[in-house]
Chains A and B, each alone.
Chain A
Amino acid sequence: MIELRDIHKAFGANKVLRGVNLTVPTGESMVIIGGSGTGKSVTIKCILGLVKPDSGTILLDGQDVAEAERDAFLARFGMLFQGGALFDSLTVWQNVAFRLLRGSLKRPRGEAREIAIEKLRRVGLKPEVADLYPAELSGGMQKRVGLARAIAAEPEIIFFDEPTTGLDPIMAGVINQLIREIVTEMGATAITITHDMASVRAIADKVAMLHDGVIRWSGPVEQMDDSGNPWLDQFIHGRAEGPIEAVR
């Protein structure tokens, strides 16, 4: 279980997180929604330790992540980045098997390649893609490779940062479906951040709405449409009028 307690983070005068409280039970798929620049990415970067919160506590299975042994802690996570963040200088299979080629999870090169090809197949890519470089792939294929890399070491917790941004609706649907299937079959805890409502409905067990650095609403995805929460209603219906200020 992941718990965020009163997390604050500011970059200079810009207070991005102003007391985020959130609980993600083990095995659930939580989707954090909110407008651009509301601190969604900063929230998951705080959990991973990529950004240090100014105050507050983050607990993973009851243990403060700030005190956790770094390698063992990170070995439990997989992450799909918004732009894929694939390493340009490595081939597709080397990207997917990155964790399996070095560090505590190191395997023989041949075995790592086999696992990488299997993971590529799982996300719908043919083995011929394995020896290409990321620059030779389309945006949708890069997302799939990023997804394969995120699940290669079979992590307990997977983060998805804007998984469908920049994709056409059909490819976005394919990625959403893949994420849902993979999270279910792996039994993983998942946190997805997005402002794509189709992704929310496809991926989420629970939804949390982040605005102005605090969680404005959280609950099961089925209750999202009848929440009566003005921030959530404005966001999911894409209205210009409401408590969320729309800059024109």
Chain B
Amino acid sequence: MSPLQPLASVGRSFLGLMAVIGRVTLFAGATLGHLIRPPFYLREFLQAVLHIGYFSLPVVGLTTLFTGGALALQIYAGGARFNAESVVPSIVAIGMVRELGPVLAGLMVAGRVAASIAAELGTMKVTEQIDALVTLSTNPMKYLAVPRVLAATLVLPALVAAGDVIGVMGGFLVGVNRLDFNAAVYLNNTIDFLESWDVVSGLIKAAVFGFIVATMGCYHGMNSGRGARGVGRATTNAVVSASVLILATNYILTELFFSA
């Protein structure tokens, strides 16, 4: 084996990664381009809103409810080390709306929606349904990708807003019932320390995460390999890439929004 072979292998992987990033960027750009040019498929958009938004509400609600409760317990236990138990309401609220609400909702929707979009579009690809769309004078990007990406981008902030409220309620329930906080004081502390930018920044993050989730689902689905194995791989890649991109983008947005 040549001593340069490992280096060549690393180089090939790097070039492969760059090619994928380029293709995904072009796909996202093409989707954005189609967003502003007719025709628009309202029925498909509304179906996507229902599928991505309404049907994701239970999973997002349960996730944020339990996370809010656990967060209250952790902050109380940590705060007790230096007599700062009273920060529980404000830290739960800020933690939920700035970070945990958008990130957890994004990850849960990535698991549920990116997977289902990739599986659906991947199956459509291998059964020639996407080719059939073209022969029926319908652009698959406009008919399949645009309604899903637009719906996810608009709906995820609403999901996160609901998740934020439920998460704060989770903290409230634990604070009042397990940690003996006064209900009125807890709510006052929550509201007093929360600024509008905390909420807005979380909702902006949510919109970006929604775009990422649907774009990854559509890209991997529409570029799925052949057969059940190809669709399975597309589904896995959609969830993994959406999750990693959400976490990486979350860090970048947090730097942009909150770095001193």
Contacts and interface: CB of A to CB of B under 8 A. Distances in A.
A87 B135 contact: no
B63 to A, nearest CB: 28
A48 B135 CA distance: 7
Interface string A46-80: 00111000000000000000000011001101110
Given A98-B136, A104-B137, A85 B39 contact: no
Given A71-B137, A75-B137, A85-B127, A102 B39 contact: yes
Given A75-B137, A103-B138, A87 B132 contact: yes
A188 B110 CA distance: 47
Contacts of A48: 134-135
Contacts of A82: 128
Contacts of B135: 48, 50, 74, 77-79
A81 interface: yes
A143 B165 CA distance: 51
A162 to B, nearest CB: 11
A90 B129 CA distance: 12
Nearest to A146: B132
Given A83-B127, A85-B127, A99 B132 contact: no
B224 to A, nearest CB: 15
B137 A103 contact: yes
A191 B129 CA distance: 20
Contacts of B132: 79, 81, 85-87
Interface of A is mostly: mixed
Nearest to A155: B135
A79 B41 CA distance: 23
Contact of B128 (A85, A102, A105): A85
B128 A81 contact: yes
Nearest to A98: B136
Interface string B100-123: 000000000000000000000001
A124 B132 CA distance: 22
* Most central of A75, A78, A88 by chain B CB within 10 Å: A88
Contacts of B137: 70-71, 74-75, 99, 103-105
A103 B136 CA distance: 9
B19 to A, nearest CB: 15
Interface in A99-119: 99, 102-105
Nearest to A71: B137
A77 B39 CA distance: 21
Nearest to B131: A50
A39 B132 CA distance: 19
Given A70-B137, A87-B132, A102-B39, 18 more contacts: A50-B131, A50-B134, A74-B135, A77-B135, A79-B132, A82-B128, A83-B127, A83-B128, A85-B128, A85-B131, A86-B129, A86-B132, A87-B124, A87-B129, A98-B136, A99-B136, A104-B137, A149-B136
Interface of B: 39, 41, 123-124, 127-129, 131-132, 134-138
